[in-house]
Chain A
Amino acid sequence: MTDMPQKPELSDIPDAVSEPKRRFSIQLVWIIPIIAALIGLSLAVKSFMDRGETITIIFKTGEGMEAGKTKIKYKDVQIGEVKGLAIASDRSHVVVTAELSKDARGLLVKDTRFWVVRARISGGNISGLSTLIGGSYIGVDAGTSTQKRDEFVGLEAPPAVSMDVPGRQFVLHADDVGSLDTSSPIFYRRMQVGQVISTEMDRDGKGVTIRAFIRAPFDQYVKANSVFWHASGVDLTLNASGVKINTESMVSILLGGIAFQTPQDQLEAPPARPNSVFPLFITRDDALKHVEAVEKYLLVFKESVRGLPVGAPVDLWGVTVGEVTKIDVTLDPAKSELSIPVEIQFYPERLRALSRNKSPQAKPPDSRELLDALVARGFRAEIKSGNLLTGQLFVALEFFPRAKPAKIDWSTNPPRFPSVPGSMGELQKKLMQIVQKFEKMPLEELAGDARKTVQSLDSTLKSAEKLLKNVDGTVIPEARSVLSEARQSLGEVRKTLGAAQTTLGGANQVLSGDAPLQLDLRETLREVSRAAQSLRVLGDYLEQHPESLVRGKREDKQ
């Protein structure tokens, strides 16, 4: 339709300039999809490589956790994320599905631990405050095992010590846990060297087991015979030596703690093996007593032990070398005799201390030989009174050279140590003897004699009275006449005295103060006194200046 009318103008259309054809065998545009494919492939590979491990962790509750939001952090660095939360089929726990980055693959071993980090305030430390704002996250503590694993059971509380802290764990057994708790400090020479990891009840309910962690290098100070004790709070002891307050640190006062010590001579011993079991003592004193070797002996007494408590000291010349551990009563049916076996703990170390100090290398003498020798010389145990007021008794070890010969009976368990009746018993016996002697005295006869004596005394007194009456009748009239005569002579004496008095009055007039004789006399005496004074002055002067006798008095220089 349009072809024909335009045909004439077609000639006006210029010819295109021709040029030989160049062939492009390769279309460059295909580089674009190749690049796109490479990018897509690299993204795919990257995302495949980045795809971490998917693990499941079991928790009791899902508190604070949210799928897609809760992070998993190791040393506060994010290594993964919770992808899902599900309740277990038996509804007893929560199964958390989490995806960890591929760098964290090495963390997924058998003993890796997971726990939920929340804000916690316990005892002395406040942790996880950042989770108040940022939300809780799952903390990881890398394990050391090489066994791979992707199913874990989460901890309910953060572990006290992370795995990568070098050190060793020990197990402590105690009767009660005191004020200890997870993360209670452990002290060695009052320096904090570790902490309590866990406290749990023994399965039989008879005690508690405490797991303690001691950091390296302090863990090497724990030896096989180290002793651990509660350093909880303040240990206030009031005894005969006064008030004693024993604490480890302010922290332990508030939170409790454990302290341990190793005997001085054991410091070179090899360190205790990890997970060794130690008893945990109540107090330091209690613990230190147990450092020493303990030997048990049995003492048999045949007297009252009233006032001898368990724990009473065993004393050797004032030094405590042991303590009473058990008191029983036994009846010997054959002899129908009661006896009281007292079990004592004896610390032979304290006896050997002297010889050890002399030669530390020398082998300490065997306590058996030592004691045998001592007993042969009269070494015996006896019960002594420690306090007369309270009647407290203790066991004393003494030498009784005159005691009956005896030996330690090593055949029994514990060996029987010879004892002598205590001084209290002896005293009682002697008192009884005295009383018995008193009883033997013929008191009634004595009383009869006394009565007779009194009667004769009475009659004597009566005759004496008669005698006195006789005296009264005969002697007194005579005496009365003598007295009247004496009175007369006294009257005469009085007259004579009156005459003497008048004479003396005259003399008094002569000598009275304003008498002219006395005035003259006083003047004269004054003159004499002055003369004597000037004589003394002259004498003094002459003594100082004897030359004035020849040269005359010198003029005083101004």
Chain B
Amino acid sequence: MSDVPLLRAENIHKRFGDEQVLRGVSFEMDTQDVQVLVGSSGSGKSTLLRCINRLAEFEEGEVYLDGTPTSEMDVNELRQQVGMVFQDFNLFAHLTAVENVTLGLRRVLGQSKADAETRAMRELEQVGLADQADSYPAELSGGQKQRVGIARALAMDPKLMLFDEPTSALDPELIGEVLGVMRDLAEGGMTMLCVTHEMGFARQVATDIMFLEGGTIVEHGPPEQMFDHPEHERTKQFLERLTTLHGDHG
């Protein structure tokens, strides 16, 4: 492995109209890192994730993947290498679970139907849903939908996975199954950048926690430091509140 970080965001500025959402965000991730991004609602967490796979364009700054500026990459190629999991799942509503996973394999990677199905079934098995392969999204629970969403992203063999509040739309009793899959992924060496409020997960799985506020990263560090000895009073207050609200599912 070279010493170039897998992901480097440099001085990202992003504006929606008059509102400056990101004001110079910079950070790095190495392969197999699990970064947890926290911050109050409206602080730009989701926007930052979207800047990384360029679902959102930004005015200033650069994102490097494996040392290559993403602005010079073909956007569809970039997105194959960066998987994304959404808060609202966004499963293709007219396709079965297995078809949700095969669509990218067939249309983007050009795999045959049989190859794509074999691969998709392997991913569905990994998230524990092989028996639901032929179910449509409307027939699945929220937790099952999100696990299909994870399988869909994983099937493309991404170098990096982005999780945009993957459990926020779930009933409390369904959160555990999704976090379990994410934990397995992290243990398997996947590089992950997660926006989440699940502090139990963050404490146990994260290699690093970043606190985003006012459009910049106020503080970041390993979980022990962030939870137990944060530099900023604001970080301490925020993480304590999150732990009280969301600490017990991980």
A binds B: no
Enumerate chain B interface residues (CB-CB to A < 8 A).
none
